[in-house]
Amino acid sequence: MLNLCLISLIVFLKFAIPVAIVFFPFIGGWANFILDTIDGDFLIPLGLEDSTYQLIDKLADWATYGGMILAAWRFKWQIKKWLYGLFALRSVGQLAFLLFRDERLFFYFPNFLEPLFLIYATMVFFKKTETPAFYLKHKWAIWIFVIVYKMQDEYITHLANIDRTELIKRLWDKIF
């Protein structure tokens, strides 16, 4: 019974936090990033089947992307058209995954939306009105980071299927 309650709470948060993103982009965006990073480490050991987890995770991800584009629209962010386009790109990948259940598709339809959103939300949170000028000044560095970070992430997660926790542990053991 306790496991079911914990599973229900985590799943609830996976769909509630995207709503918070619309109103609190920085806090909601980063809370979602953290939860999405660790949720499988809890849900599967608590007894949620992997196939069920994957379906819930992908639907919650899409809700998150929706929250992100609504926040960009609501706050009239200068990059909103980029975010809309990246939402469309990833939505094609989400739909293809749901139809074909082949997670390799995520590599070919990468999620550039989330890291770009998080960077911009962080700039808005700390730089406030300076954000448009700051973004324009640093846009090449931001885009290079987003692309490199996300492509390695998509590769590790969806093509190589390497558990990131295990990867970090193996690297740690080699270094020390």
Q: Which residue type occupies 93?
A: G
- Tokens at 102, concatenated: 């082949």
pLDDT higher than 80, residue 3 = yes
Percent of the chain with pLDDT strictly greater than 90: 89
d(CA 48, CA 69): 30
User: What is the pLDDT of the chain when averaged over all its residues?
Assistant: 95
pLDDT in tens, 4-56: 999 999 999 999 999 999 999 999 999 999 999 999 999 999 999 999 999 99
d(CA 18, CA 60): 8
pLDDT in tens, 152-170: 999 999 999 887 777 788 8
What pLDDT does residue 156 have?
93
- Tokens at 101, concatenated: 């259940």
- Tokens at 32, concatenated: 């979602």
SS3 state of residue 47: coil
pLDDT higher than 90, residue 90 = yes
Q: Are 84 and 69 in contact (CB under 8 A)?
A: yes
d(CA 76, CA 108): 29
- Tokens at 9, concatenated: 């709470």
Mean pLDDT of 138-147: 98
Q: What is the SS3 string spanning the chain? A: CHHHHHHHHHHHHHHHHHHHHHHCHHHHHHHHHHHHHHHHHHHCCCCCCHHHHHHHHHHHHHHHHHHHHHHHHHCCCCCHHHHHHHHHHHHHHHHHHHHHCCCCHHHHCCCCHHHHHHHHHHHHHHHHHHHHHHHHHHHHHHHHHHHHHHHHHHHHHHHCCCCHHHHHHHHHHHHC
d(CA 11, CA 7): 6
- The predicted model scores a pTM of 0.93
Of the candidates 164, 83, 157, the residue with the CA atom closest to the CA atom of residue 118:
83
Mean pLDDT of 58-85: 97
